[in-house]
A and B are shown apart, each in its own frame.
Chain A
């Protein structure tokens, strides 16, 4: 009853498993790599869907949040503090197990942060930055947030491209794997391909469960009401500003999670992840999938990113997303599933619950 809204999660899980079995049987497990990557990109899209479809705000800088997550993890896990080994702060971190010694590629001993604290630091940092940006800008009309996030994304791009700490145009590589629990690791080696496929999907499904729960809760209703008629929502006692800010920060944290995990998966991250085009891409995906449809956004996210990663769009990659944006806004501003002919399909999928 209450849990009917989670039904698609189970269906999704079945599809995921079925897909894996089929690919393994066909000996085509290399597709799983791109699907895994698409899954991590989809985390950004889920958060952005909450922001755009429910809180009604456009962010043109989500690639920036993705990258703060990724770069923070990368920097912390690849930095070498060996020279400061005995400094009080470092020693304290060592005693807590935050920092540990390991061998790098060349066999030298380096001292860097372990992946878990780095991951948490990445999330906290991203949340903080999103909070600081949203705090002044969300008081203003919608397009000011669009511009501010665009500017923010551009600054992150410049910083990442310009500072030696972030590897400039080469980015950061040799990012170590991320050991989760019980021997599960996030890394890109082909031996771990299937394992990572499931890890990525587990994270995505967990995010979907959180998002679906939120959307169907009192807060989700409030968000929808803000999106559909802000003045009325305000008059009913909803602090629209606080809700928008919270949703913005939440969506940034989702993006950072995707960024950090993908960085460990790929073993590297580069400035190509921070571009405006990437941010536009995420917006286009949410627009196509359906502004307020989490499943639509997820499906489109996987599909479009997968196609893009496989090179199906060729050199026209950017244009495709640009054209999608235009087409969506012109013909189906509520997303494909709200177009009247497809209404039956969408009503079958959602009925009383939302997602």
Chain B
């Protein structure tokens, strides 16, 4: 059992003159819920994009389960067991809710072009399994009633849930949540906290980026604070909350 699930070392990324991620080293222990916070533009989503291979780093490395995975393609990273949700929900609009979640099972299944075209019997069992597992996840999330509706027709909060369900269908070891509370009201946010705790109890390590302080302080074991791409504080929520640098960065010099 690897102790540190995800590690980045001295990650760097520029956008033109902007140093979006500056010499960033973090470690996410196995089974933890870790949060990354920071004011807007601090580099949080860029960090996710670097980890998942969407962006190439200009320096530094990423390790998953001890293996270097820097600059791997997104689909290869996903196949390793890293799932993510997006800041703006990226569902497949013209597919049903169930189908959306079924796509999440893709990297755990195997039938290819030929088997698909010829409708071989061995695909029948696999398809049944995919559908059954997807349905089970939908039931867990209370979305079973919407299974046959086109994903784009669901209310916003439910769409978010579908995206979680889809990510979990991958049976990931690590789940990256990019601003999961964005656009949710206070009740939904509380439900979200419970959801994340539930996800962790299933053995999925969570790395959460968000602005919502109550959510972050409530659920995380550990918090990393970024400002302008650099790590300025890290530790348990209580400690970080009182860190003068963190207060200065969020509230301004007057409050430090």
- State if A and B touch, Cβ cutoff 8 Å: yes
Interface residues, chain A, with chain B CB atoms under 8 Å away = 2, 210-211, 213-214, 217-222, 224-225, 228-229, 231-240, 246, 250, 292, 352
User: What are 8 inter-chain pairs, A to B, with CB distance below 8 A?
Assistant: A211-B117, A213-B119, A214-B117, A219-B116, A222-B103, A236-B103, A236-B170, A240-B75
A236 touches B117 (CB 8 A): no
A232 touches B116 (CB 8 A): no
A250 touches B116 (CB 8 A): no
B123 touches A224 (CB 8 A): no
Pick from B92, B94, B109, B167: contact of A218, CB under 8 Å: B109
Chain B minimum-CB-distance residue to A242: B75
B52 touches A235 (CB 8 A): yes
Determine how close the nearest CB of chain B comes to the CB of A229; give it in whole angstroms.
5
Pick the most buried of B75, B83, B94, B148: most chain A CB atoms within 10 A of its CB: B75
Complex CA distance for A250 and B117, rounded to whole angstroms: 11
Q: Which residues of A contact B52 (CB under 8 A)?
A: 235
Chain B minimum-CB-distance residue to A229: B90
A235 touches B118 (CB 8 A): no
Pick from B83, B104, B123: contact of A217, CB under 8 Å: B123
A221 touches B102 (CB 8 A): yes
B123 touches A236 (CB 8 A): no
Pick the most buried of B90, B102, B113, B166: most chain A CB atoms within 10 A of its CB: B113
Instruction: Please tell me if B215 contacts chain A, counting CB pairs below 8 Å.
Output: no
Determine how close the nearest CB of chain A comes to the CB of B49; give it in whole angstroms.
10
Q: Which residues of A contact B99 (CB under 8 A)?
A: 221, 224
Pick the most buried of A213, A246, A352: most chain B CB atoms within 10 A of its CB: A213
Complex CA distance for A312 and B118, rounded to whole angstroms: 38
Pick the most buried of A210, A232, A250: most chain B CB atoms within 10 A of its CB: A232
Chain A minimum-CB-distance residue to B163: A232
Pick from A217, A228, A233, A238: contact of B111, CB under 8 Å: A217
Chain A minimum-CB-distance residue to B93: A228
B106 touches A236 (CB 8 A): yes
Q: Contact flags (1/0) for B77-114 with A, using CB distance below 8 Å?
A: 01100011010001111110001001110110101110
A233 and B113 in contact, given A224-B95, A225-B92, A228-B94 (Cβ under 8 angstroms): no
A236 and B109 in contact, given A210-B117, A228-B92, A228-B95 (Cβ under 8 angstroms): no
Q: Which residues of B contact A238 (CB under 8 A)?
A: 75, 103, 106-107
B116 touches A213 (CB 8 A): yes
Q: Which residues of A contact B106 (CB under 8 A)?
A: 218, 221-222, 225, 236-238
A218 touches B75 (CB 8 A): no
Pick the most buried of A211, A220, A238: most chain B CB atoms within 10 A of its CB: A238
Q: Which residues of A contact B83 (CB under 8 A)?
A: 235-236
Determine how close the nearest CB of chain A comes to the CB of B102; give it in whole angstroms.
6
Complex CA distance for A292 and B91, rounded to whole angstroms: 18
B75 touches A219 (CB 8 A): no
A237 and B75 in contact, given A217-B116, A232-B90 (Cβ under 8 angstroms): yes
Complex CA distance for A220 and B74, rounded to whole angstroms: 20
Instruction: Please tell me if B130 contacts chain A, counting CB pairs below 8 Å.
Output: yes
A2 touches B118 (CB 8 A): no
Q: Which residues of A contact B170 (CB under 8 A)?
A: 236-237
Closest 3 CB pairs of A and B: A237-B107, A217-B116, A237-B78
What 20 additional pairs, Cβ within 8 angstroms, besides A217-B127, A238-B106? A210-B117, A213-B118, A214-B113, A217-B123, A218-B130, A219-B116, A221-B103, A221-B106, A225-B92, A225-B95, A228-B95, A232-B90, A232-B92, A236-B75, A236-B83, A237-B106, A237-B170, A240-B75, A246-B113, A292-B94
A218 touches B126 (CB 8 A): yes
Determine how close the nearest CB of chain B comes to the CB of A260; give it in whole angstroms.
19
A352 touches B148 (CB 8 A): yes
Q: Which residues of B contact A240 (CB under 8 A)?
A: 75
Instruction: Please tell me if B136 contacts chain A, counting CB pairs below 8 Å.
Output: no
B92 touches A229 (CB 8 A): yes
Chain B minimum-CB-distance residue to A207: B117
Complex CA distance for A292 and B106, rounded to whole angstroms: 21
Q: Which residues of A contact B93 (CB under 8 A)?
A: 228-229
Determine how close the nearest CB of chain A comes to the CB of B29; give it in whole angstroms.
23
Q: Which residues of A contact B78 (CB under 8 A)?
A: 234-237
Which residues of chain B from 56 to 86 have a CB within 8 Å of any chain A CB? 73-75, 78-79, 83-84, 86
A214 touches B116 (CB 8 A): yes
Pick from B86, B92, B113, B118: contact of A250, CB under 8 Å: B113
Q: Which residues of A contact B119 (CB under 8 A)?
A: 213, 217
Q: Which residues of A contact B124 (CB under 8 A)?
A: 2
